[in-house]
DNA sequence: GACGGTTTGTAGCTAGCACTACAAATAGGC
DNA sequence: GCCTATTTGTAGTGCTAGCTACAAACCGTC
């Protein structure tokens, strides 16, 4: 079979056989389920049901349950949080920036799409030992968020909006810790109003 | 069979047959495992291993896995937290009281016995739907804790140590939320020093 | 010391999990 | 219109979970 290698390489995506289901739409449905139920309690059977496919299609398109979960997480960050982080940097006043961030966070965590907290916080708590790498990946994501808090606080100090003496490291850790707690509250069914109360208090940590 | 009913009722606990294993010691071992791993990932097989018993003994003494878990939770509260709550009330200065509480909390959550947060917070996240009643029970416990915070804050206002205008309700919610976040951090392996940083910032929420 | 109630250890049960063979169905390339 | 690559649906695999039947071992009581 003299395949013309160059030509096939030039064309990036040539679907030859039967065309696949709507991968992006299915991922959205998977995210919604993982978000509500967490990684472990969500079964492949349930995923297939909401995605409108059968197990072989899921494994063919996403690898396995864990890889599907990580793709859903990336989708979640992109759709729900990217704008919020951009706004944290865009607002010049550091206190207003954090106030807006936490108010928006309270809104997302009690979103009608899935009013059950942040899947990055709650999605992989209590996973069996063999899935520990998933919990580790989410913890790394949260640590990156903490570093974004820290950078914003340091900029606030550099801008003269915050006192030089404050412990930006401790404050950044406290803010991410409070944000994590807000996910626990939301996952327990806390109302949006209750989280807005917490968001209002959060700014006091900034100093 | 003319059994002497009155006599048997008078005697409250008459172990007739073969005597049981050390129930209290076994419960301690079960708590340690539940604490580290959470409810769902902890298997009955692992529980039996650390408790030094076999499944029939576990079910005979504790009912089932869920009831054993709830007994372990009660034991946990008693051994690790009861004193801390008493101290919150005993200290007359409300700010000192909360400072001490959160410092002690940071210590407990990173305790060498199980440096993985509070089992009341993390133990029943992501349980399957059929075990939802366990998550509900833990959430009720946390709500009780919030009410203790609230009462202490209100006393602080009554004692003239806190301004009348503060929103004690919002602050109590924020404090329990932060405490819950600290458990997430600890379960992710955060060092004791890191949680002490958060504890130091917590007092700023009191107002 | 035999009896009767209790606990114990062995072994296994049912159900549900993540995952996969396999062949039929699909659709582009020649 | 055939070939070939890919996806699909059916049906099932192996594994592990929580839980239990059963008979032997134990121990106070008569």
Q: Is residue B10 part of a domain?
A: no
A112 touches strand D (CB under 7 A): no
Q: Give how far Cα B200 sits from Cα of A88, A104, B105, B155, Å.
A: 25, 26, 11, 22
Rg, C-alpha atoms of chain A: 21
Q: Is residue A13 part of a domain?
A: no
A window 144-173, beta carbon within 8 A of B: 167, 169-171, 173
Q: Is residue A10 part of a domain?
A: no
The shortest C-alpha distance from B7 to chain A (Å) reads 50
Contact B184 A174 (CB under 8 A): no
Q: Residue B125 and residue B180: Cα distance in Å, rounded?
A: 12
On strand D, nucleotides with any atom < 7 Å from a protein CB are: 4-12, 16-22, 25-29
Q: How many domains does chain A have?
A: 1
Contact B170 A200 (CB under 8 A): yes
3-state helix, strand, coil in chain B (%, to 5): 70, 0, 30
pLDDT tens-digit series, residues A17-37: 889 999 999 999 999 999 999
What ipTM was estimated for this complex? 0.92
The shortest C-alpha distance from A98 to chain B (Å) reads 15
Using the C1' atom of nucleotide D10, identify the protein residue whose alpha carbon is closest: A54
Q: Is residue B6 part of a domain?
A: no
**Pick among B145, B201, B206 to test the A interface (most A CBs inside 10 A):** B201
Query: Nearest nucleotide, C1' to the C-alpha of A20?
Result: D7
How confident is the prediction along chain A (207 residues), in pLDDT tens digits per residue?
333 333 333 444 567 888 999 999 999 999 999 999 999 999 999 999 999 999 999 999 999 999 999 999 999 999 999 999 999 999 999 999 999 999 999 999 999 999 999 999 999 999 999 999 999 999 999 999 999 999 999 999 999 999 999 999 999 999 999 999 999 999 999 999 999 999 999 999 998
Q: Residue A80 and residue B132: Cα distance in Å, rounded?
A: 27
Q: Residue B38 and residue A132: Cα distance in Å, rounded?
A: 13
pLDDT tens-digit series, residues B26-58: 999 999 999 999 999 999 999 999 999 999 999
CATH number of the CATH domain containing A125: 1.10.357.10
CB-based contact B199:B95 (threshold 8 Å):
no
Q: Is residue B3 part of a domain?
A: no
Range of the domain at A169: 20-206
Q: Is residue A9 part of a domain?
A: no
Q: How far is the CA of B56 from the C1' of C13 (A)?
A: 14
Q: Is residue B8 part of a domain?
A: no
Residue A94 contacts B, CB cutoff 8 Å: no
Q: Residue B203 and residue B57: Cα distance in Å, rounded?
A: 47
Q: Is residue A92 part of a domain?
A: yes
DSSP designation for A130: G
């Amino acid at each position: 079979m003299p395949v013309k290698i160059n030509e096939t390489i030039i064309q990036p995506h040539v679907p030859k056989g039967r065309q696949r289901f709507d991968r992006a739409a299915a991922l959205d449905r998977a995210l919604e389920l993982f978000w509500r139920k967490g990684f472990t309690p969500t079964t492949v059977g349930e995923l297939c049901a909401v995605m409108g496919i059968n197990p072989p299609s899921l494994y063919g398109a996403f690898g396995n349950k864990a890889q599907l979960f990580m793709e859903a997480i990336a989708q979640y960050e992109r759709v729900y949080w990217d704008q919020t982080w951009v706004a944290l940097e865009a607002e010049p006043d550091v206190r207003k920036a954090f106030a807006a961030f936490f108010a928006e966070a309270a809104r997302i965590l009690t979103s009608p799409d899935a009013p059950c907290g942040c899947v990055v916080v709650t999605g992989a708590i209590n996973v069996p030992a063999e899935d520990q790498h998933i919990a580790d990946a989410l913890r790394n994501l949260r640590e990156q968020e903490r570093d974004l808090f820290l950078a914003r606080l340091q900029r606030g100090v550099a801008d003269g909006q915050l006192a030089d003496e404050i412990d930006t490291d401790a404050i950044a850790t406290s803010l991410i810790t409070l944000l994590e707690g807000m996910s626990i509250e939301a996952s327990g069914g806390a109302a949006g109003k209750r989280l807005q109360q917490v968001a209002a208090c959060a700014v006091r940590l900034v100093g």
